[in-house]
Amino acid sequence: MGMLQPSHGQYIRSGSQRIMQMVFQDPLSSLNPRLPVWRIITEPLWIAKRSSEQQRRALAEELAVQVGIRPEVSRPPASCVLRRAAATYRHCQSTLFAA
């Protein structure tokens, strides 16, 4: 894994980031199936040791409310994805039949 050489301009790296990581195209395969959603959402804060577990969980719940997944923050990611897919499917079906 590496970076492509720019054809023009310059690349400026700042901050304390020391490693690169892959960007997965399939969102579900990039998530640890054993961790609850709140832990996945707050993983950067855990790595940086910036807050307590209680603070991270409260932040995850607040963010989950904003994006509409509030009840699922304690569950593994697969349950959230499946529930969201089922809701989308039902919405699409009702839209098709209403048209």
Q: What is the mean pLDDT of the chain?
A: 70
- What pLDDT does residue 96 have? 46
96 belongs to a structural domain? no
More confident residue, 90 or 9: 9
Q: How many domains does the chain have?
A: 1
70 belongs to a structural domain? yes
Tokens of 34: 């054993």
23 belongs to a structural domain? no
Contacts for 32 with CB less than 8 Å, ≥ 6 apart: 40, 77
* Report field, pTM of the whole predicted structure over 0.95: no
Does the pLDDT at position 65 exceed 60? yes
Torsion from C-alpha of 38, 44, 50, 51, nearest 10 degrees = 0
- What pLDDT does residue 1 have? 54
Q: What range defines the domain where residue 51 resides?
A: 35-76
DSSP string, 59-79: HHHHHHHHHT-GGGTTS-HHH
Mean pLDDT across the stretch 23-29?
66
Tokens of 62: 């607040």
